Amino acid sequence: MAVLPGAASVPVVKILHHNHAAPATSLHGGSIALSSSPSPRLSGSRRVAESRGVLRASGRPLQERIQRARLIRHHRRAPSPLICPAPAPPMAESTVAAAAPGGGGAGALAVDRSALGQRLLALGRGRLRLFLDTADVAEWDKWLPTGIFHGVTTNPLLLERAGRECSVDALAKLAHMAFDLGAQEIQLQTWGATVEEMVDTGKRLGIIDPRVVIKIPATVDGIQAARQLISSWGFRVTLTAVYASHQVLLAQGVGAQYAAPYLGRMDALGKDGKAEIIAMQRAVSATSSATRVLVASVRAPGEVSALAAAGVDTFALPPAIVARMLHVPETETAAADFERAALAQAPKDN
C-alpha cells in the first residue's frame, strides 16, 4: 500500500479472537486502509485493491478520517482476547425477556435470582459465622429469620434453661426445628461418664443429620472421644469449654472443626479473655489450620467487633446480645425520619 512521502506511519493493528484474524487497520498520515488479510506486506495499491480488498480513504472527509483514527486507537488499547483471563462462569439464565411495553426493557436478561443471592451472601459474609447461642425455640423464631446466623449452638445447660429434655430423640426433633427455620448447622453436645459413652452418644447425635456438629468438652476423655468421632466416623466436632490459648492446639491436633473458648467466663476468672482468644486465632492462622475459634460467653457487642477486627471470625451470640446489636437507637431514629420523608413526598391523591 502506498504511503504519502514524509507521512508518519502507524503500525497495523490486528485483533485476534479464537485464532481468527479480524480485518487489520492501518493509518498513514491521513490515508486509512482496512485489510482483511493477516499479512501486512503489500506490493502495490492496485494489487492490494484487487486481491486483498483494501479500501482507500484518502479522499474521505476529514471528520470521517478522525473517526477511523479513533477506532484504531480504541483497538490498540483493547487487550487481546487470547491473553485475557478466563471469565467467571455465567450465572444460570431462566429466560431472555423480549421487549414489551412496560416491561424490563429491550432484551432484558432474567437471571436465576436465587443463585445470585447465594453468591452475594457468600461474598458479603466472607469467613464470618454467627451462631445463635440458645435452645429456646421462641428465640429461634424471633432471630433466625433475620438471616444473619449460620446456625445455632446448644449444650445441656442451655437445654435446662429452656426446659428442654436432654435425650437423643428430643435433640433430633430440636435439630429439625432449627433446620426448618433456616439454620445451616446445629451444635449438639454429647455426654457420658467414659470415652466409650461419649462416643456412643456422639454417634447417635451425628447420624441425626449431616448438619449436626457434635460438641465435646476439651477434657482428656473428651479429646479421645473427639478423635474417634472424627477419624473413625467422619463426624464434625467442636471442642468446647476452652479456657487457655494452648487448648486450641489440642483441637487442631484431633482435627476439630471448632474450638470454643468462653470469653465472659475467662474474664470473670481474672484472665484476659480477649488476649487469650487473639492468641488462639494467631496460632490457628500461623499453622494454616481449618479449625475455627468459636467465641462463646459473649457479654457485650463491642467484644464481638473488637475480636473480629483482630481476625476472629466465628461467634456464638446469646439472644440478649443479639437484641443489643440489632436495636441501635440512632439507627432506628434515622429510619423513622426516612419513612416520614418518603410519606411526605409521596404523590397526593386528587
The one-letter amino acid code at 243 reads: Y
**C-beta of residue 152 within 8 angstroms of C-beta of residue 186:** yes
- Cell 468421632 belongs to residue: 229
Of 215, 271, 274, 348, catalytic: 215
Residue 33's DSSP bridge partners are 26, 56
The dihedral built from the CA positions of residue 321, 322, 323 and 324, taken in this order, carries a sign that is positive
Q: Give the whole-angstrom CA distance, residue 298 versus residue 234.
A: 30
**What single DSSP character describes residue 347?**
P
* Pairing of β 129-133 and β 151-153: parallel
**What single DSSP character describes residue 134?**
-
Write phi, then psi, for 229 (nearest 5 degrees): -65, -30
From the list 228, 295, 304, the residue with the least C-alpha distance to 265 is 295
Write phi, then psi, for 15 (nearest 5 degrees): -115, 115
Query: Is 271 a catalytic site residue?
Result: no
**C-beta of residue 205 within 8 angstroms of C-beta of residue 190:** yes
- Cell 469449654 belongs to residue: 241
- Cell 475459634 belongs to residue: 293
SS3 state of residue 189: strand
From the list 278, 280, 277, the residue with the least C-alpha distance to 251 is 280
Active site amino acids? 215
